[in-house]
């Protein structure tokens, strides 16, 4: 019915975790969030990892977790971190390990959704809007490059979007 795994990619604030949980329930699959798995394995939050190891240390952990999650595990819905597509090897793993769904959102939507968020290391700066706009511009083409399906996560309720995604996934399988 479904390809090996279903990966949700997209920028921070696009709804990958929330929609992913609904989608997994609808498809009868387990759900895992890459960022949460990194925190669990590290015994520390992402901000601490960024502070102690820098962004590259975090990205190395992210790659390790992704590779572990696709190796010999049953199909599941996997919500990735927004920057997972920066690494060409990660992009290849995503493309050959399952269905990749890009949850897109406009910079304005992401700015609004992350306005009060204190947990995202890349947004702990004075000009959050500039960072979000830059990330959307730089990463958007990479998300599109690896995506099998693109779904705007804009103003649609998460459960409603998950139902549409479940329908789309079932027609592909």
- The pLDDT value recorded for residue 141 is 93
- The pLDDT value recorded for residue 125 is 65
Looking at the domain covering 5-159, what would its CATH class be?
Answer: alpha beta
DSSP 77: E
- The predicted model scores a pTM of 0.90
- The pLDDT value recorded for residue 52 is 93
Give the whole-angstrom CA distance, residue 148 versus residue 20.
Answer: 16
Closest CA to 26 of 171, 169, 172, 173: 169
Sheet holding 5-9, edge to edge: 30-33, 76-79, 5-9, 98-104, 149-152
Return the bridge partners of 5, or none.
98
Judge whether 63 and 87 are in contact, CB under 8 Å: yes
- The pLDDT value recorded for residue 14 is 86
Give the whole-angstrom CA distance, residue 64 versus residue 34.
Answer: 10
Closest CA to 37 of 5, 63, 1, 10: 63
Give the whole-angstrom CA distance, residue 25 versus residue 123.
Answer: 31
pLDDT tens, N- to C-terminus, the chain (173 residues): 455 899 999 988 888 999 999 999 999 999 999 999 999 999 999 889 988 999 899 999 999 999 999 987 799 999 999 899 999 999 999 999 999 999 988 878 877 766 676 666 555 666 777 888 888 889 899 999 999 999 888 767 889 999 999 999 888 75
């Amino acid at each position: 019915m479904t390809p090996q795994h279903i990966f949700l990619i997209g920028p921070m604030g696009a709804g990958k975790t929330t929609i992913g949980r609904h989608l997994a329930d609808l498809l009868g699959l387990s759900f895992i969030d890459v960022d949460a798995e990194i925190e669990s394995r590290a015994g520390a939050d992402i901000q601490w990892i960024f502070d102690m190891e820098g962004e590259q240390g975090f990205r190395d952990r992210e790659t390790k977790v992704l590779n572990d999650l696709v190796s010999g595990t049953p199909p599941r819905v996997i919500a990735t971190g927004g920057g997972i597509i920066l690494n060409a090897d990660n992009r290849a793993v995503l493309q050959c390990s399952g269905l990749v769904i890009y949850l897109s959102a406009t910079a304005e939507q992401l700015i609004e959704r992350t306005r009060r968020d204190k947990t995202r290391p890349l947004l702990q700066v004075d000009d959050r809007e500039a960072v979000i706009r830059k990330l959307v511009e730089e990463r958007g083409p990479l998300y599109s490059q690896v995506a099998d399906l693109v779904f705007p996560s804009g103003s649609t309720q998460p459960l409603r979007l998950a139902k549409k995604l479940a329908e789309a996934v079932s027609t592909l399988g």
